[in-house]
Amino acid sequence: MKLVVTGATGAAGSWIVDHFADAGHEVIGIDLERPPRERENATFLAADLTEQGQALEAILDFDPDAVIHFAGIPRMGITTGTETFLTNVSSAYHVFEAAGRAGADVVWASSESLYGMPFAAEPFLPDSLPIDEDHPMRPEDGYGASKLVGEELAAKTVRKYGISVASIRPSWIQYPGEYRATDGNAAFDPETADPSGNFWSYVDVRDVVSTVDAALKADIDGHEAYHAMAAENYLGRETEDVIETVFGDLPAACALEGEQSAFSTAKARRELGWAPEHSWREAEDADVNGPAFLDP
């Protein structure tokens, strides 16, 4: 296949480029800057996807079979909320439009943040646990709102061009040997813990890559959203007990067992045949080489 990968030099996008290039696909990676090294089966272009002309030219000239869109500002706190929102929405609009014109299916990085809990001004519990893809979306911040609008743009693109779009909603992405999520686990105290966040959910970048791979191979009709989360929380404690202690309550509909993630991946398991393979217990200290083309 001929694949366009946006955000190709980013933390997750670079792993995606490596995976599909290793598999023998013809990959064109797009980011604001080209990486310092070459990569077999991959060609890199520098382009600003917030500029419609650059996005259209970069994607349409390649005539891809599919587009994997991971470019954008990856979380709150890097830029202002306004800049985050405008960057993510404009790049998604331009990339989806180009993919639609090319007749290329899309897999892109949405986020768990569109549910609103991670960056809420006042922490709140979900309507039910585990959270599935049908849970109401209530973002209060620019990042989560950009992903919500992005999914509406995905649905618009499907209606206009008849392609398929898979919106992958990953949790906090972690990298083998560099797990930030587990920092401070030994000192974690539910009685004093900060209730803001994503209920101690995470996902290994390798499982994000395998979700993208599964979505590309699946026969998706229209626009569908899929969670990408590890099977368990990163605390090594029972999820229900931690949430109840920290928040002082649980939603009326709660069906969590043991350390099970607060987010359900049942839809991805059912429709994509995907399941997470990596746990913090083996991955936080793992010695795994990342994409070599990023090395100076």
pLDDT tens digits for range 150-204: 999 999 999 999 999 999 999 999 999 999 999 999 999 999 999 988 999 999 9
Kindly indicate the confidence band of residue 295, based on its pLDDT and cuts at 50, 70 and 90.
confident
- Going from N- to C-terminal start, the domains of the chain cover 2-287
Q: At what angle do helices 81-102 and 52-60 cross, to 10 degrees?
A: 40
Contact status, residue 247 vs residue 123, Cβ threshold 8 Å:
yes
The b-or-e profile of 177-196 (16+ CB within 10 A means b, else e) is: eebebbeeeeeeeeeeeebe
Portion of the chain with pLDDT greater than 70, in percent: 100
Predicted local distance difference test score (pLDDT) of residue 220? 98
Task: Calculate ∠ Cα 68-295-22, nearest 5°.
Answer: 45
Local structure of 85: helix, strand or coil: helix
Predicted local distance difference test score (pLDDT) of residue 46? 98
* pLDDT 10s digits, 55-64: 999 999 999 9
Local structure of 261: helix, strand or coil: coil
Predicted local distance difference test score (pLDDT) of residue 79? 85
Q: How far apart are alpha carbons 84 and 229 in whole angstroms? A: 23
Q: What is the pTM of this model?
A: 0.97
* pLDDT 10s digits, 120-132: 999 999 999 999 9
Instruction: State which fold the 2-287 domain adopts.
Output: Rossmann fold (3.40.50)
296 pLDDT higher than 90: no
